[in-house]
Amino acid sequence: MSALATPPQERPPRLRTDPSGSWRAWPLRDRVLLGLCWAAGLALIAIAALIVLYMLVKGVQYLRPELLWDRPEASIDQSRSGGFLDPILGTVLIVVGALVIAAPLGVATAVWLTEYGKPKWLARMVESGIEVIAGTPSIVLALFGLAFFAQGGLGFLSATGEGGAVFGRSLLICCAVLSLEALPLIVGATREGLLSTPRHVREASYALGKTRAATIHRVLLPVARPNIATGCALGMGRVAGDTAVVLLLGGGTLQLTTNGSIPGLNYLQGTGSTLTTYVYANSPSGEGGAPEKAYAAAFLLLALVLVLNWAVDRIARGSNERLGWTR
């Protein structure tokens, strides 16, 4: 009685046809194309997996802990050429330094473009200017830096030789030039965050009698913080991965050297290397010819890039959860 009293619950109907299964009836040409689409997608996954796995294997094979805290030495004997403490520190220095320059500049530019943008012609010019910088290869930026910072008046940024000749190469100069590479990424991400802020959020702030500037400071920037963080992480990845600028402007020493007398700043004013230039120098293309160490440093570099990638993902996902109204 009890089991039969209630009528059996009607089961939800099933879709009887599988929409993706319909390819079987396609003409041969379309089936071939579908196969090529799959092949392209899977090939990219395979390439990425191969790169990561290969670097992982080589990294595990050659990365010994003492490499991390030994300083590099110039020696033909590989067992005495040391590790890459200095390149690691160099990478950290230029990433932080470039970010310190690029973040305020980028955020300011983005805020000005989205919230003020007047006069219009200037805004449009700045907008395309950002695009120009984004499209300029780092090797061109490097040569620009070389020509610009070797001027007499800018000697304080780097070493000066006898007779006032400006060397024009230091980690500080690297930071300045590399900040240009991070700049478009920070501007782009910040603008995206500001543009996706609904109008009613701004209007609510204006309605409370706040000025535009106060609204930016108190409302918009906190809201766009995840986007700014994304832009910074992307920019850090770009800076950490750059080789050309550091190769030309880093001074070409594997060890960090100091220059000047102010502690802390003296490392920035000196020369040095980063993980990328260390890899380059130790590859067969450079002078070192120590592929094992190049592999180990490259593994570290790739790990850094992966972590930054992952951070970008996490920030993006986290901000989507917190700011539900953007969807």
Partner 1 sequence: MSGWWSDRRVGPALGSAGVLVLAIIAGMTVYVLREAWPSFSANGLAWFGTGGDANVQLENIFRSEPPFEYMLRAWPLLYGTLLSSGGAVIFGLVLSTLTAVFIVEFAPPSVVRILEPVVRLLAGVPSVIYGLIGVLVLVPFLNDHLISTERKESVFYVIQLTGQSLLVATALLTIMIVPIMIAIAVDALRSVPSSWTEGALALGANRMRVMWTIALRAARPALVAGAVLALARALGEAIMLAMVSGGVIFAPNPLDGSTFFFEPIQPLAAAIVQGAEGITVKPYGQTLFAFAAVIMVSSVGLSITGWAVRRRLRRFAA
Partner 2 sequence: MDPLMPPPPIRRIVVDAPHVVVPAPEPETNGAVRMRPRVTTDVVERMRVEELTITYGPKVAVNGVNLPVHQGEVLALIGPSGCGKTTLLRSLNRLVELTPGAARGGKIVLDGDDVDAIEVTSLRRRISMVFQQPNPFPMSIFDNVAYALREQGSKRVKRAELMAPVRNALERAGLWDEVGDDLDRPALRMSGGQQQRLCIARALAADPEVLLLDEPCSALDPRSTATIEELILQLRESLAVVIVTHNLQQAYRIADRVAFMYLGELVEYGLAEDVFERPQHTRTAEYVGGAFG
Interface residues with partner 2 (CB under 8 A) are 12-17, 19, 22, 24-25, 27-30
Closer by beta carbon to partner 2, 21 or else 161:
21
CA distances in angstroms from 67 to 10, 79, 102, listed in the order given: 67, 11, 31
CA atoms within 13 A on the CB side of 233: 19
Q: How far is the CB of 207 from partner 2 (least distance, A)?
A: 34
Q: What does the alpha-carbon distance between residue 198 and residue 220 come to, in Å, rounded to a whole number? A: 10
Closer by beta carbon to partner 1, 124 or else 200:
124
Let me know: does 192 contact 227? Beta carbons within 8 Å: yes
| Interface pick for partner 1 out of 81, 109, 190, 255 (rule CB under 8 A) | 109
Q: Which range binds partner 1 by CB under 8 A, 76-84, 118-126, 196-204, 259-267? A: 118-126
What is the chain's length? 327
Does the protein bind partner 1 through residue 290 (CB under 8 A)?
no
Q: Which range binds partner 1 by CB under 8 A, 75-83, 135-143, 257-265, 318-326? A: 135-143
CA distances in angstroms from 121 to 127, 191, 249, listed in the order given: 10, 18, 35
Q: What does the alpha-carbon distance between residue 244 and residue 233 come to, in Å, rounded to a whole number? A: 20
Measured from the Cβ of residue 279, the count of other Cβ atoms closer than 10 Å reads 26
Structure tokens that stand for 128 in this block = 């395309």
Which option in partner 2, partner 1, none does residue 306 bind, with CB closer than 5 to 8 A by kind?
Answer: partner 1
Does the protein bind partner 1 through residue 74 (CB under 8 A)?
no
Let me know: does 190 contact 234? Beta carbons within 8 Å: no
Interface size with partner 1, residues (CB under 8 A):
90
Which option in partner 1, partner 2, none does residue 24 bind, with CB closer than 5 to 8 A by kind?
Answer: partner 2
Which option in partner 1, partner 2, none does residue 221 bind, with CB closer than 5 to 8 A by kind?
Answer: none
Q: How far is the CB of 238 from partner 1 (least distance, A)?
A: 8
Q: What does the alpha-carbon distance between residue 270 and residue 255 come to, in Å, rounded to a whole number? A: 10
Q: How far is the CB of 31 from partner 2 (least distance, A)?
A: 10
Which option in partner 2, partner 1, none does residue 320 bind, with CB closer than 5 to 8 A by kind?
Answer: none
Does the protein bind partner 1 through residue 302 (CB under 8 A)?
yes
Burial label, 183 (beta-carbon count in 10 A; 0-12, 13-18, 19+): buried
Q: How far is the CB of 2 from partner 1 (least distance, A)?
A: 43
